[in-house]
Structure 1
């Protein structure tokens, strides 16, 4: 039987890397004649976490898969110190095109040099939404392009809707920035979508045109794999699959998650402390790899935790320096940011850590609630482990995810759905109060709430979706069939 090879290109953020390597491995487990080459781009400020994630992705492959998956490191550029944020991504990816082209050319040459009919045929590019400019490179080689969306189907529905408004009705989405009462009727959503939860990039005059360009590239691809599953986002998926919608085929293949535990990273103190807590009694606060807060907001969160009386594990990160592309770090001394004697007063009920491996904590039986930024990977992990979310979004499409969780799906409780962190385009005076946070913590920790019951049900559905005959299992095999049928 002929063999097919896919080239995967992910934007080098930790979530994108994990999801892209995850879908590559998942595809290979489903078909023994599939091969994958992952092109690894490295940012000038590539974080330690990204490197750790990448290394673990390599080492965790089974022996049968490791022989069929290849990682190629692309040259690391260090010429962006003077770039402004709005131009950085565009400039970085355009510069990477040449490296991608060279890597693919060498790959194709190496395949030809074997002079064997048994050599895999390069069948397609798989790019994430931020790397759709690489479709130009695929076109140069005459190779089909597919998109792997690390966000949900709701975000894709919104993106296509805003593109249609822009191109067909001359509606500039940035006009909604100053109209907080505006609401949109978006295909795939049961409720009107408030403009205040639109992704920040769609409201930014510098960035919105770039996102529109991404949307056009996605719409022109041969197919879209989405990290979601039918049972979670059935309404959005069906709207995208409508024959009249004129979109590429959509394949819901999730949840694609990296579930490898990191017990040595947590530290024995936190593990032991969690082991000593009653089941579902601990609330976990974590805001992603880059999530951080101002001093005033940290104070409000601390007051909320203390007043709630709920046991907690809090991943608290130090905001980056004012350098354009620095990453958050850990506090050398927590006393400098927390209310006076907070650590002493909460010593029996809580622990504060720096970077947190979410899987290890969310999977622990002691954890009963999750205060989250609502990044899509974090959302899928929380649902997988049956832990309800209290929403406190910061950036990107997190506000839309929060809206979807709370208003559309009933799988989360609201602290805020439209909050934008002051380090991520929000107003530095827009502080979520301790009272709002405390209320959200208490609600998400309710033992017999309808939200908790729905989350437990969705947890079971997320696991069944990936089993033989499940919705995502079947969708992924439909995608593989399309690939294999297209082989020359």
Structure 2
């Protein structure tokens, strides 16, 4: 079998980058004739992405058959407040750099081949779900393109459904604020409009996401970070349709190695040492992802709920972006007293710990963790399932509301705090200021940490299934073999 090379073009966001690298490692482990080059690009406002890219490009220990090319940095003149608008435009502007990088890379490969070296052929481009502009580059090169979809199959099915309906109805105010439900073949239950992703409910974003879905339909295959046992209904609906590209559910793809990117010196060892002192399954972990943060009023409601519950907790508390400093992502508080009262900190000192950026994998894998209040980002969901930790769903943005609906209503793997929460809006059923009350938070926490929590038993069983899916003969193992065969047979 001849050597083949895939070029990966991920979106420069931590959840996408880490997952992409793990996917690449899985591929080269499975087939020794396969080589991968990952094109990396930095964004002007995310120091964690920059640090991660620098560490990847300097590393020689990942694999001899995975290489990294850092694309030239250029100042992006229009940093739009809408993340989807920004990242779509940003990746579109990177097309000339990608073409140039590929031209140089494969020119050197041809020179090596001329001297007798057995250089791999370019077998295709694997682009991120938000990097679909690069499908045009693959077409120009005359090679197949694949999409790596870092969310779930249910969301993918809903994206494809947008192509067959009038998407403009989704962002009409009378529709988006109603109790209307959407019938989707990728979900067993009708989907309330209130849990549709934010990007479906705003005109510019809806048009962009439809364009991404249309480009994904052009590809040879879609690799989804999920597994059959988790999303059997959604996966079967996509497979049965017959009009979509080949589908490869190969998950869960997660990194079992934590990165500690704390801005304020929170120590990973300090966190784990504290957990070591707690009883098994007694600690509630609260974390809302790399972009999750709350107003001071909402933080006060959370602190009241935690104190009323009287349970042990580990809270990853992050400061909202400082717009006056042109920051776009949350950062760590220098001192939790900036937002929490000294009285609260004193009263909960023996049972609670406040941290900033969290080494999430290390925390979820610890035996002291008994529950996870989560924003329901897809990577966090997969990590929670892997370690068998039940979730209390509190989505914040993007497709997280849909993920939360799926976890609670479709799969029974989580309990609800607030499925249709929208940070800094009052479109949905919160109170006038968009605040979830301490009483509602407390109720969700008590359901989550209760011994009779059915979600706890279900997620333990799903944890076993996800690990079996990756083993020889498992559903994801077989799907990955099918993908490799498709790549190598071209």
TM range (shorter): over 0.9
Shift in Å, 1:423: 8.1
Distance verdict in 2 for CA 1:57–1:473, change over 3 Å: farther
**Residue 386 of structure 1 pairs with residue 388 of structure 2:** yes
Distance verdict in 2 for CA 1:381–1:266, change over 3 Å: farther
Give the alignment's TM-score, normalised by structure 1.
0.94
Distance verdict in 2 for CA 1:315–1:423, change over 3 Å: farther
Shift in Å, 1:254: 0.3
Post-superposition Cα deviations, 1:122-177, rounded to whole Å, max 9, x if no partner, equal: 000001110011101111111110000000001001111122113xxx76322375
- Paired residue for 1:230, among 224, 228, 232? 228
Query: SS of the residue aligned with 1:172?
Result: helix
- The equivalent residue for 1:353 is 355
- The equivalent residue for 1:400 is 402
Post-superposition Cα deviations, 1:325-362, rounded to whole Å, max 9, x if no partner, equal: 52211112211211351100000000000000100100
Superposed, 1:405-420 pairs within 5 Å as 405-420=407-422
Superposed, 1:113-152 pairs within 5 Å as 113-114=111-112, 115=114, 116=116, 118-152=118-152
Post-superposition Cα deviations, 1:437-488, rounded to whole Å, max 9, x if no partner, equal: 11111111122422101000001111111111111010000000011111xx
Superposed, 1:46-445 pairs within 5 Å as 46-47=46-47, 49-54=48-53, 66-80=63-77, 83-85=80-82, 87-114=85-112, 115=114, 116=116, 118-166=118-166, 172-175=169-172, 177-242=175-240, 244-261=241-258, 266-322=267-323, 326-422=328-424, 429-445=433-449
Instruction: Choose 402-411 or 90-99, whichever is displaced more.
Output: 90-99
In structure 1, distance between residues paired with 2:427 and 2:134: 27
Gaps of 5+ in 1: none
In structure 1, distance between residues paired with 2:452 and 2:294: 32
Gaps of 5+ in 2: none
Give the alignment's TM-score, normalised by structure 2.
0.93
Instruction: Choose 38-47 or 365-374, whichever is displaced more.
Output: 38-47
Work out whether residues 266 and 356 of structure 2, in 8 Å CA contact, stay in contact via their aligned partners in 1. Answer: no
* Aligned-residue CA RMSD (Å): 2.1
Work out whether residues 395 and 424 of structure 1, in 8 Å CA contact, stay in contact via their aligned partners in 2. Answer: no
Post-superposition Cα deviations, 1:282-301, rounded to whole Å, max 9, x if no partner, equal: 00000001111001000000
In structure 1, distance between residues paired with 2:377 and 2:12: 16
In structure 1, distance between residues paired with 2:80 and 2:331: 22
Query: SS of the residue aligned with 1:5?
Result: strand
Instruction: Choose 322-331 or 278-287, whichever is displaced more.
Output: 322-331
Query: SS of the residue aligned with 1:441?
Result: helix
In structure 2, distance between residues paired with 1:344 and 1:449: 31
Instruction: Choose 323-332 or 190-199, whichever is displaced more.
Output: 323-332
Distance verdict in 2 for CA 1:444–1:27, change over 3 Å: same
- How many residues matched? 479
Distance verdict in 2 for CA 1:405–1:58, change over 3 Å: farther
In structure 1, distance between residues paired with 2:283 and 2:345: 17
